[in-house]
Amino acid sequence: MTLKPLTNDNTATVLWVALIAALSVGGSLAFACAAPLAAVAALAGSKMKSGEGVALVAVAWLSNQIVGYGLLNYPMTADSFAWGAAIGVASIVAFYGARAVSGTAGASALALASAFLAAFAVYELALYGAGLVLGSSDEAFSAAVVERILLINLVSFAGLLLLHRAAVALSLIRTGAEAPATA
């Protein structure tokens, strides 16, 4: 069996988003509230067109919420739904944070590192801000918790980059589908 290059960029994008959504389900099962959404935002912000990147982040977040409420028994309370929405907003804002810096540093390892750091920082700051409004314990943003979330996202980002590189090498997605931050 040989894999043929996808000739339709829309098909390739849909398959890529579906793959990341499937991996998000696995990440949600493994990490629950610590799903690596900042890593997904960093990948999307540095490797995809704006609309497609937002869609990828939104689908990853939605997958996380479906797993959380459907399988992990997240509480069906207003507070829980508000935190879910805050995580979604933080993920989208993280995408734009990654996007803002990835276009200024080129396509180098520095650009990828900058995109990841920006996405993670923006994600955590957005959640911290939500915590001020929604109420959260200081424990949720302790150094140990933030370090754990950082490591989960860092390892996930590295894995996503390897997966992206493999998908490009197999002509499953095209690097031409990537767009600079200004697009």
CATH of the domain at 126: 1.10.1760
Question: The tokens 């493994």 sit on which residue?
Answer: 30
Q: Is residue 4 part of a domain?
A: no
pTM metric for this prediction = 0.83
pLDDT at 23: 77
Q: How far apart are CA 123 and CA 173, in angstroms?
A: 27
Q: Which domain holds residue 96?
A: 9-172
179: in domain: no
The Cα-based distances of 151 to 31, 80, 84, 102, 138 in angstroms read 12, 24, 21, 21, 20
Alpha helices, H only, the chain: 9-31, 37-47, 50-70, 78-102, 109-134, 143-169
Q: Is residue 182 part of a domain?
A: no
Query: pLDDT-derived band of residue 183, with 50, 70 and 90 as boundaries?
Result: very low
Structure tokens, 59: 């689908």
Is residue 177 a part of any domain in this protein? no
- Is residue 120 a part of any domain in this protein? yes
Mean pLDDT of the chain: 83
Would you say the C-alpha torsion 46, 49, 54, 57 has a positive or negative sign?
negative
Please report whether residue 49 resides in a domain.
yes
Does 154 fall in a domain? yes
Q: Per residue in 97-151, pLDDT tens?
A: 999 998 755 568 888 999 999 999 999 999 999 999 998 777 788 899 999 999 9
Tokens 């002509």 found at: 171
pLDDT higher than 60, residue 7: no
Provide the domain count of the chain: 1
Domain presence at residue 180: no
Q: Is the pLDDT of residue 178 over 50?
A: no
